[in-house]
């Protein structure tokens, strides 16, 4: 979380700027989540607790902590000036349908929250606001960015968070809000601000981690590390995901700010949301710069790899040329030495009818012939630069 703390709200601030609607009528038992065993929260099909935490607030102070969704519905009906804050983690479809029936959630929003894998967006269905956020956290050990998905339903007297992934830590958001009742009494919009602030503040360590990775990659590129291309590609993919998480937030927050007058948003919340918008814009610009930097690094790495390959090919060509020169010399001397061997072999056959066999000048003639042939070959090879 950011170090920025909420300032006390003005004394005439309203508990909520959302118009309230009458409490929903009781649902049949089948519409509610099955009651868990005593002392244990509801669990989804995955075996982990689906209802992470549910609480009822009045004037910014927690008044109860229901253990099940059914208890939350009942206590909220009994507390007309209260606000329910329900936190879910990977809930089942039945639990979401129960919430939709109780709070009048739009089927399309419920479908998005069930399937997940949605882009960040902000949609308004009557008096309910549906927000999708992509949270991120940097994992130091594998040097990777882990993304989570968060769906938020904000109504007149309720806030429902549906989390898919480990980030963000909404328990810390809840503690911060409960420690600041002046802000929490502003209603569901204040909770939405706190969650937005937590998600955006969670981007800061990711930005720092990605910046460190880029610095390390730049060093590895100029060292000629053969594994750097793979790391550039993986970090580029993470940066693209990060960009998809941050860029839509700029438009979403400007959309919220555009409705300040229409929906009578409290002045304190307006200041907070503008501050969050500034941080989102700054983060989005940093992420855009990261992607551009990685593109340039990839180009530089490709250039260096090409230069290295050209240098290796040049070295191989030079080595081949030198080898060819040596082969030429060896072949030339082999030919020169082969000539007298050929003459000597012919005269060594000792046939009876050889004309030069009994000739007085036969031996000197053979020697002179060897010398003439060797000298001729030497002159020819020398002129061709083989020797």
In terms of C-beta distances under 8 Å and separation of at least 24 residues, what long-range contacts does 93-96 make, across chains too?
A: 94/33, 95/33, 95/42, 95/44, 95/50, 95/51, 95/69, 96/162
Q: What angle do CA 325, 326, 328 make, to 5 degrees?
A: 65
> What is residue 147's three-state secondary structure?
strand
Residue 25 has pLDDT above 70, yes or no: no
Question: Per-residue pLDDT averaged across 67-91, rounded?
Answer: 88
Predicted confidence (pLDDT) per residue in 307-359, tens digit: 877 888 888 888 888 888 888 888 888 888 888 888 888 877 777 777 777 77
Strands 83-89 and 51-58: antiparallel
- Kindly tell me the number of DSSP H helices and DSSP E strands found in the chain: 10, 7
Average pLDDT, the chain: 80
User: What confidence score (pLDDT) does residue 79 get?
Assistant: 84
User: What confidence score (pLDDT) does residue 20 get?
Assistant: 32
User: What confidence score (pLDDT) does residue 106 get?
Assistant: 92
Beta strands (DSSP E) in 220-279 are: none
pTM, 2 dp: 0.67
User: What confidence score (pLDDT) does residue 377 get?
Assistant: 86
User: What confidence score (pLDDT) does residue 42 get?
Assistant: 42
Q: Tokens in use for 384?
A: 């061709």
User: What confidence score (pLDDT) does residue 318 get?
Assistant: 84
217: exposed, middle or buried (Cβ count in 10 Å: 0-12, 13-18, 19+): buried
Residue 64 has pLDDT above 60, yes or no: yes
- Which positions ≥6 away from 332 have C-beta within 8 Å? 377, 378, 381, 386, 387
Question: Which of 84-88, 122-126, 140-144, 236-240 is least confident?
Answer: 140-144
Distance in Å from the first CA to the final CA of the chain = 80
Q: Residue 50: which pLDDT band, with cuts at 50, 70 and 90?
A: low
Percent of the chain surpassing pLDDT 90: 16
Residue 185 has pLDDT above 60, yes or no: yes
Predicted confidence (pLDDT) per residue in 223-270, tens digit: 877 778 888 888 888 899 998 888 888 888 888 887 777 767 778 778
Question: What is the Cα–Cα distance from 350 to 338, expressed in whole angstroms?
Answer: 20
User: What confidence score (pLDDT) does residue 31 get?
Assistant: 36
Residue 132 has pLDDT above 90, yes or no: yes
Question: What is the Cα–Cα distance from 115 to 107, expressed in whole angstroms?
Answer: 12
The maximal CA–CA distance of the chain, rounded, in angstroms, is 141
Predicted confidence (pLDDT) per residue in 163-184, tens digit: 887 767 788 889 999 998 988 8
Question: Per-residue pLDDT averaged across 133-160, rounded?
Answer: 89
DSSP string, 275-293: HHHHHHHHHHHHHHHHHHH
Question: Per-residue pLDDT averaged across 118-134, rounded?
Answer: 90
């Amino acid at each position: 979380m950011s170090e920025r703390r909420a300032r006390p709200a003005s004394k005439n601030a309203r508990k909520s700027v959302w118009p309230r609607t009458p409490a929903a009528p009781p649902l049949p038992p089948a519409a509610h989540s099955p009651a868990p065993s005593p002392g244990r929260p509801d669990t989804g099909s995955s075996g982990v607790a689906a209802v992470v935490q549910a609480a009822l607030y009045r004037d910014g102070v927690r008044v109860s902590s229901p253990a099940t969704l059914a208890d939350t519905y009942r206590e909220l009906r009994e507390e007309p000036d209260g606000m329910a804050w329900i936190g879910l983690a990977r809930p089942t479809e039945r639990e979401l349908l129960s919430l939709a029936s109780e709070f009048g959630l739009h089927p399309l929003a419920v479908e998005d929250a069930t399937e997940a894998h949605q882009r960040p967006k902000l949609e308004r269905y009557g008096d309910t606001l549906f927000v999708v956020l992509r949270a991120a956290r940097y994992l130091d050990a594998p040097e990777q960015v882990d993304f989570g998905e968060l769906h938020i339903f904000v109504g007149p007297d309720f806030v429902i968070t549906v989390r898919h992934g480990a980030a963000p830590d909404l328990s810390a958001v809840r503690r911060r809000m409960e420690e600041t009742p002046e802000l929490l009494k502003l209603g569901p919009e204040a909770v939405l601000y706190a969650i937005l602030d937590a998600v955006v503040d969670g981007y800061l360590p990711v930005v720092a981690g990605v910046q460190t990775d880029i610095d390390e990659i730049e060093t590895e590129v100029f060292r000629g590390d053969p594994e750097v291309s793979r790391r550039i590609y993986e970090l580029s993919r993470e940066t693209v995901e990060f960009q998809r998480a941050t860029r839509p937030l700029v438009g979403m927050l400007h959309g919220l700010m555009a409705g300040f007058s229409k929906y009578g948003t409290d002045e304190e919340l307006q200041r907070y949301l503008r501050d969050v918008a500034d941080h989102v814009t700054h983060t989005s610009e940093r992420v855009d710069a990261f992607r551009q930097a990685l593109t340039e690094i990839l180009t530089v790495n490709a250039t260096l790899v090409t230069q290295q390959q050209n240098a290796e090919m040049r070295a191989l060509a030079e080595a081949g040329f030198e080898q060819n020169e040596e082969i030429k010399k060896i072949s030339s001397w082999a030919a020169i030495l082969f000539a007298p061997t050929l003459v000597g072999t012919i005269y060594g056959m000792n046939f009876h009818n050889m004309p030069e066999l009994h000739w007085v000048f036969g031996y000197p003639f053979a020697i002179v012939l060897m010398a003439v042939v060797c000298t001729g070959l030497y002159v020819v090879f020398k002129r061709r630069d083989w020797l």
